[in-house]
């Protein structure tokens, strides 16, 4: 399934100005699109709009169109939308249902609401737990998880819905390096094996460097740059926008700035260390 | 100024999860400290003991020689300011200014002094001018900064920040660094939990690494991220910053930050 935003302009209810202006983007099945930009540039709003939650749930005014395989998301019923498109909020704790007494139940909440047979629900829950390496949390109380654990549980709950499109707002913000790697690997597998289209907002550009096919840069609600992730993430203009380049790019420029060896030798050294 | 003594502290959550296991840690007055470790290694649990939010199952925590448990909650609130990882568990007021004023007001401040504190705290985090806004109209990154401002306004001798850089862009991270620097310059103790290795290496003079409820490394960034510590770091699934790995590969010793790497290269040239 392909998610497409065409000339999308969005304004929150009661706001004085547009939060997004004239955004065009396409997310084909099986692709990973990274989104970077400074704080308050419209990244989270883009997630709400792309997932259909804004304006349907959040309110506000939208112009242009958001479509999944050519169908406007605005007219879809909530359960239809939930099966096609899953969204992980920036604040994962806010996403947990608050009604489940175990992590297992929390993950079963979504698929059960879709009316799936019990066997399928259990299968989905177990496979989502496995995918993110958190099978050990199944019996824990969702209210007594660490921040990082809660974030993994919230992501697993979305995966259990089996959506064709994933919209992720900083899915690794509270994760340790190992958790970040695990999520990166899980997302890569979903894109490659299940052809899930993934739009992911991240300040950790190192993750996008490994995961994203393409990266877009958002500033003041406008899409100001789009390209292959390797090109966009190496753009020196990112720093001026407040986006941290991946360590590989930073260390390369630090070494080059110190007059150390030729760029080719620096790249060879970094490639050796990456192995 | 207040010294912190954590002595053989263990903590088990109701339900049996053993989160801390015989933690010993001394933090001098005015010291700044970064705590790193895997998710679930006990970092947040440990810092929540400092203001009495959690009470140790065994061992004890002394603030200025007095056990935390013997101090009144109001007294602890004036000594230790804790900024939660999740700002939405902390923010409750309908206006930014009211939110920041809540803490110092409860410490008994009123009038001009209260106003001054609130204004200074909002300025320190870059939220001047948002006084009348609803906190939930601010984006996540600014809600995090608001939560920090609310604690800064209390002017506690000890400030604890749990994951302050999550959701922040480069400018936001620089802002947090300058807040830590300003607090340090005032002689206050700053304890910060973080997964951001670069931020930790560049900001703190002392870094503590936790694994499964215990402290496994404690030293300068150069110690903790230097080659001799890599096995221990790997055992807790942490990686030294890339600058440290490049420095080691080039035989430059421990270069935990890019600035140190460049310095070491310049010194060798």
> What ranges do the domains of chain A cover?
3-244, 245-275
pLDDT band at A177 (very low <50, low <70, confident <90, very high): confident
The percent of residues above 90 in pLDDT, for chain B, comes to 88
Interchain proximity A269–B246, CB inside 8 Å: yes
pLDDT band at A64 (very low <50, low <70, confident <90, very high): very high
Instruction: Report, as an integer, the average pLDDT of A250-270.
Output: 79
Quick one: pLDDT at residue A258? 74
Interchain proximity B85–A175, CB inside 8 Å: no
Chain B residues touching residue A209 (CB < 8 angstroms): none
Interchain proximity B88–A239, CB inside 8 Å: no
With both helix axes pointing from N to C terminus, report the angle between A118-131 and A147-159 in degrees, rounded to the nearest 10: 140
Give the whole-angstrom CA distance, residue A257 versus residue A134. 43
Interchain proximity A176–B258, CB inside 8 Å: no
Structure tokens given for B51? 């203001």
| Residues A163 and A169 sit within 8 Å (Cβ to Cβ) | no
Quick one: pLDDT at residue B48? 95
Chain A residues touching residue B15 (CB < 8 angstroms): 140-141, 144
Give the whole-angstrom CA distance, residue B225 versus residue A178. 17
pLDDT digits (tens, 9 = 90+) for A90-123: 888 888 888 899 999 999 999 998 899 999 999 9
Chain A closest CA to B47's CA: distance in Å? 13
- Report the range out of A27-36, A84-93, A254-263 with the highest average pLDDT: A27-36
| Residues B221 and B191 sit within 8 Å (Cβ to Cβ) | no
Chain B closest CA to A57's CA: distance in Å? 16
Nearest to A39 among B89, B141, B243 (CB): B141
| Residues A116 and A143 sit within 8 Å (Cβ to Cβ) | no
Instruction: Report, as an integer, the average pLDDT of B17-25.
Output: 95
Q: Which of A177, A179, A243, A181 is nearest to A35 (CA)?
A: A243
pLDDT band at B61 (very low <50, low <70, confident <90, very high): very high
Of all residues in chain A, the one with the smallest CA distance to B44 is A146
Q: Of the ranges A32-46, A76-90, A221-235, which one carries the lowest mean pLDDT score? A: A76-90
Quick one: pLDDT at residue A76? 87
Nearest to A38 among B89, B171, B258 (CB): B171
Instruction: Report, as an integer, the average pLDDT of A159-181.
Output: 92
pLDDT digits (tens, 9 = 90+) for A122-139: 999 999 999 998 999 999
Instruction: Report, as an integer, the average pLDDT of B259-267.
Output: 89
Chain B residues touching residue A149 (CB < 8 angstroms): 39-40
Quick one: pLDDT at residue A168? 97
Interchain proximity B238–A176, CB inside 8 Å: yes
Chain B closest CA to A244's CA: distance in Å? 6
Give the whole-angstrom CA distance, residue B101 versus residue B87. 16
Quick one: pLDDT at residue B39? 85
Instruction: Report, as an integer, the average pLDDT of A31-41.
Output: 95
Chain B closest CA to A115's CA: distance in Å? 32
Phi, psi of A201, deg, nearest 5: -85, 130
Does A232 score more than 90 pLDDT?
A: yes
Chain B residues touching residue A266 (CB < 8 angstroms): none
Reduced to 3 states, what is the DSSP secondary structure of residue A83? helix
Nearest to A273 among B15, B166, B246 (CB): B246
Residue A173 contacts B, CB cutoff 8 Å: yes
Reduced to 3 states, what is the DSSP secondary structure of residue A141? coil
Quick one: pLDDT at residue A269? 81
pLDDT digits (tens, 9 = 90+) for B115-142: 999 999 999 999 999 999 999 989 899 9
Reduced to 3 states, what is the DSSP secondary structure of residue A34? strand
Quick one: pLDDT at residue A84? 92
pLDDT band at A83 (very low <50, low <70, confident <90, very high): confident
Instruction: Report, as an integer, the average pLDDT of B158-187.
Output: 95
Chain B interface with A: residues with Cβ < 8 Å: 13, 15, 17, 37-40, 44, 85-86, 88-89, 139-142, 162-163, 166-173, 195, 197-198, 237-239, 241-243, 245-246, 249-250, 258, 261-262, 265-266, 269
Chain A residues touching residue B172 (CB < 8 angstroms): 39, 242
Phi, psi of B124, deg, nearest 5: -60, -35
Going by the DSSP 8-state scheme, the letter that residue A242 receives in this structure is: T
Interchain proximity B173–A244, CB inside 8 Å: yes
Does A263 score more than 80 pLDDT?
A: no
Q: What is the 3-state secondary structure (H, E, C) of chain B?
A: CCCEEEEEEEEECCCCCEEEEEEEEEECCCCEEEEEECCCCCHHHHHHCCCCCCCCCEEEEEECCEEHHHCCHHHHHHHEEEECCCHHHCCCCCCHHHHHHHHHHHCCCCHHHHHHHHHHHHHHCCCCCCCCCCHHHCCHHHHHHHHHHHHHCCCCCEEEEECCCCCCCHHHHHHHHHHHHHHHHCCCEEEEECCCHHHHHHHCCEEEEEECCEEEEEECHHHHHCHHHHHHHHHCCCCCCHHHHHHHHCCCCCCCCHHHHHHHHHHHC
Give the whole-angstrom CA distance, residue A32 versus residue A198. 5
Mean pLDDT of chain A: 92
pLDDT band at A231 (very low <50, low <70, confident <90, very high): very high
Quick one: pLDDT at residue B265? 86
Mean pLDDT of chain B: 94
Q: Was domain A3-244 assigned CATH 3.40.50.300?
A: yes
The percent of residues above 70 in pLDDT, for chain B, comes to 100
pLDDT band at B269 (very low <50, low <70, confident <90, very high): confident
Cβ-in-10-Å burial (0-12, 13-18, 19+) of A169 comes to buried
Does A257 score more than 90 pLDDT?
A: no
Question: For chain B, how many residues are written?
Answer: 269
How large is the ipTM?
0.81
Cα separation of the two ends of chain B: 44
């Amino acid at each position: 399934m392909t998610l497409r935003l065409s000339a999308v302009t969005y304004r929150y209810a009661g706001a004085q100005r547009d939060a997004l202006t004239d955004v065009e983007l396409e997310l084909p099945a099986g692709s990973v699109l990274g989104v970077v930009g400074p704080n308050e540039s419209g990244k989270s709003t883009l997630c709400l709009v792309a997932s259909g939650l804004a304006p349907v749930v959040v309110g506000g005014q939208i112009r242009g169109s958001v479509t999944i395989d050519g169908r406007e998301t605005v007219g879809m019923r909530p359960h239809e939308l939930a099966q096609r498109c899953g969204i992980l909020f920036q604040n994962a704790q806010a996403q947990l249902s608050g009604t489940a007494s175990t992590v297992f139940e929390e993950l079963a909440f979504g698929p059960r609401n879709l009316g799936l047979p019990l066997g399928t629900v259990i299968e989905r829950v177990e496979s989502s737990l496995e995918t993110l390496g958190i099978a050990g949390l199944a019996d824990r109380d969702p209210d007594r998880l660490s921040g990082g654990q809660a974030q993994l549980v919230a992501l697993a709950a979305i995966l259990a819905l089996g959506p064709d499109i994933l919209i992720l707002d900083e899915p690794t913000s509270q994760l340790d390096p190992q958790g970040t790697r695990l999520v990166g690997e899980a997302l890569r597998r979903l894109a490659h094996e299940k052809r899930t289209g993934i739009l992911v907002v991240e300040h950790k550009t190192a993750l996008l460097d490994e995961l994203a096919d393409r990266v877009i840069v958002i500033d003041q609600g406008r899409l100001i740059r789009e390209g292959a992730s390797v090109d966009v993430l190496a753009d020196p203009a990112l720093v001026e926008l407040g986006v941290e380049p991946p360590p590989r790019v930073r260390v390369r420029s630090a070494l080059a700035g110190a007059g150390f060896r030729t760029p080719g030798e620096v790249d060879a050294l970094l490639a050796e260390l990456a192995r | 100024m207040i010294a912190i003594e954590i002595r053989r502290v263990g903590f088990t959550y109701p339900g049996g999860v053993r989160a801390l296991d015989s933690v010993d840690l001394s933090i001098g007055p005015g010291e700044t400290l970064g705590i790193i470790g895997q998710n679930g290694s006990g970092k947040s649990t440990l810092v929540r003991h400092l203001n009495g939010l959690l009470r140790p199952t065994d061992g004890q925590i002394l603030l200025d020689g007095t056990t935390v448990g013997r101090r009144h909650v109001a007294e602890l609130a004036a000594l230790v300011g804790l900024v939660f990882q999740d700002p939405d568990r902390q923010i409750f007021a309908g206006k930014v200014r009211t939110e920041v004023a809540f803490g110092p007001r409860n410490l008994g401040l009123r009038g001009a002094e209260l106003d001054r504190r609130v204004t200074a705290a909002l300025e320190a985090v870059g939220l001047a001018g948002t006084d009348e806004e609803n906190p939930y109209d601010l984006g996540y990154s600014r809600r995090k900064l608001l939560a920090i401002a609310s604690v800064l306004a209390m002017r506690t001798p000890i400030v604890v920040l749990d994951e302050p850089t999550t959701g922040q862009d480069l400018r936001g991270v620089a802002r947090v660094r300058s807040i830590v620097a300003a607090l340090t310059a005032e002689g206050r103790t700053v304890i910060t939990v973080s997964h951001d290795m670069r931020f930790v290496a560049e900001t703190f003079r002392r870094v503590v690494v936790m694994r499964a409820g215990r402290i496994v490394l404690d030293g300068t960034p150069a110690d903790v991220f230097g080659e001799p510590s890599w096995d221990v770091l790997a055992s807790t699934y942490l990686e030294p910053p890339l600058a440290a790995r490049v420095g080691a590969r080039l035989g430059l010793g421990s270069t935990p930050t890019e600035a140190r790497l460049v310095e070491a290269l310049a010194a060798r040239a």
